[in-house]
Structure 1
């Protein structure tokens, strides 16, 4: 019995990393995270993978969160001169079976005018809005920045 209780406790403690993935109305949100911004930074970036596992098309329209004055779908492009330029993305269509990755150096959720410091290990709720799946509340984990990842700043 003690072994079973220890195993159950270990699974419970280990489960937060698994609990971040969410599936609602065919939309699968995979590994949502925010890279820890530098102390005092007014902006940050969030990443995730969005998969449409449903039978109908959908569209990723917007993001809302209380930790920033503004959250928007953004993309980064590197010019021939090597300079990164960011711009806001329009809503993103998701055909059935389609997967879209938001990752450093590419598409991301831009968090502007942060109103709280984000520390490694913090869990940050965000509401993702989809045309058909509706609003999906997702917990993003603040993770240490990969020193090899492209820097994200405005």
Structure 2
């Protein structure tokens, strides 16, 4: 009986660790930063989150950095002229007044290059987001097996892209 109780407590703790986490920076509200757990040989990982602008002025995400990677870039998926999905780096992402900037598989994301370590499933790692008006905001990115259910409505999740 005690073993079952300990197992249940361990499983619940893991579920709570993966539960949504939020950050507030002035008028910006950042929901559940996450990354998909990747094998140790993966050359890159991506981070996802949603930035809501609850204020009266627009803002822009200008970049990001993290101690687990030498380089972080803002990227987006776009449809090429040939109909194929491609990734491209963007210099900034607008966060409109009363709107949001959604970083999700198949859309905007923060790509992390030259990893000095691969965070494990259930772990969190720091990511600093650099906003034009709100300034620097440090968040903790939860490493998960799959995307949160609300991350990309109606979209089937596929593996991370390679560069």
* Superposed structure 1 runs of 4+ greater than 4 Å apart: 12-19
Counterparts of 1:5-20 in structure 2 under 5 Å?
16-17=17-18, 20=21
* Counterpart contact for 2:46–2:160, Cα < 8 Å: no
* Distance across 2 between alignment mates of 1:113 and 1:100: 26
Matched, 1:151 2:160: yes
Shift in Å at residue 42 of structure 1?
1.9
Shift in Å at residue 39 of structure 1?
2.2
* Distance across 2 between alignment mates of 1:17 and 1:35: 12
Matched, 1:52 2:53: yes
Number of the residue aligned with 1:7? none
* Distance across 2 between alignment mates of 1:43 and 1:84: 18
* Counterpart contact for 2:23–2:139, Cα < 8 Å: yes
Number of the residue aligned with 1:86? 87
TM-score, L = length of structure 1? 0.82
Shift in Å at residue 150 of structure 1?
4.9
* Distance across 1 between alignment mates of 2:146 and 2:39: 9
Q: Which range is displaced more, 81-90 or 137-146? A: 81-90
Shift in Å at residue 68 of structure 1?
0.7
Alignment size in residue pairs: 144
Number of the residue aligned with 2:37? 36
Gaps of 5+ in 1: 1-11
